[in-house]
Structure formats: C-alpha cells, structure tokens
Amino acid sequence: MLEWIVLLVVVGLILVVVEVFLPSGLFGLAGGVCLVVAIAMTYANYGIEAGTWLLGGVILATLVGLILWVKYFPKTPTGRRMMLTATTANVAPEQNYQSLVGKTGVARSYLRPAGIAEIESRRYDVVTEGGMISQGSEVRVVAVDGTKIVVREL
C-alpha cells in the first residue's frame, strides 16, 4: 500500500509540473486528484498522524515549488520564451482633441447620447450634452474632456 501512495504522490507532483509547460488544466487536475487520493489513502491506512504529515508535506512542497518557480523560472531560457517582457512601441500617442472645440460637423449616426459625428472630414466618437440628436443634424463641439468629445445640436 505504501508503494501506491508514494507512486501517487510522485505522479501527482510530476503532473502538476507538466501543467506549467503544457497548460490545459487537465494535467493539473489529474495531478491534484493523484495527490488527494494519496492523502486519503494515507489517512485510511496509516491513521490521522501519518495523513496529516503527508498533507503538510504536500502543502509545503507546493509552497516551496511555487516560490522557486516565481523566483527562478522567468530567468531560464524556457521561462524567457514563455513570459511577456517587451512593451509595444507602436502605440499611437493620445490625440489632443482640444482643437475641435467650436468646430461644426454632421451627426453620422443617431446620437443617443453617444454616436459618431463627422468633423472636418474625420469621424469621431462623440456624446451629446444629454439629449438625442438625429442622424444628419449639424452639431458643434462644445467641450472636450480627454478623449470625450461633447457636442450640441445647432
């Protein structure tokens, strides 16, 4: 019986490690089940003291493994390939819409209160001051707050 318990613990730990490299949830779940069955068998066959020792050992091994993985895995060649480290350099800078204040345009969709307006031959996502504006109506930009463009019907 002891051989089966040791085998289940070893297989369970191996399956949990495999889950790190082949994430699917299946290996981790199978590994967890192996560990739970091994602990249950220990409680059933060797008593509360032995079962508690095995449970504590599995928890301790899991914590130590997690700490070591977090500390060393990102520095390994495999870890560097799996981890995201680079930032995207081609992100467009935030537009400055302040120059649109006072400009007029046309509502290209119904503004209820949000929609699309065409101002100076460009389309913008806009919001009204609160009411609805029909498609095709002329609008004027009355305020800009960051990327929020507020319009009013003319």
What tokens does 46 get? 């060797």
For residue 92, being part of any structural domain is answered with no
Least Cα distance to 138 among 123, 124, 119, 125 occurs for 119
**121-140: per-residue pLDDT in tens?**
899 999 998 889 999 999 99
Mark which of 56, 82, 108 sits at the end of a domain: 82
Structurally, the chain folds into a number of domains equal to: 2
| CB-neighbour burial class of residue 91 (10 A; exposed 0-12, middle 13-18, buried 19+) | exposed
Q: How many residues does the chain have?
A: 154
In a domain, 87, yes or no: no
Residue ranges of alpha helices (H) inside the chain are: 2-21, 26-72, 77-82
Same domain, 36 and 107: no
> 91 falls in which pLDDT band (50, 70, 90)?
very low
Query: Any idea what the CATH number is for the domain that residue 125 is in?
Result: 2.40.50.140
Indicate if 13 and 71 belong to the same structural domain.
yes
More confident residue, 96 or 141: 141
Amino acid making up residue 143: A
| Residues 71 and 12 reside in one and the same domain | yes
Q: Which range has the worst mean pLDDT, 35-44, 48-57, 67-76?
A: 67-76
Burial class from Cβ neighbours inside 10 Å (0-12, 13-18, 19+) for residue 75 reads exposed
Same domain as 74, residue 41: yes
pLDDT(90) > 80: no
Compute the average pLDDT of residues 31-44.
Answer: 94
Same domain, 120 and 68: no
The parent domain of residue 141 ranges over 100-153
Amino acid (1-letter code) at residue 82: M
Which pTM value belongs to this model?
A: 0.51
3-state secondary structure of 138: strand
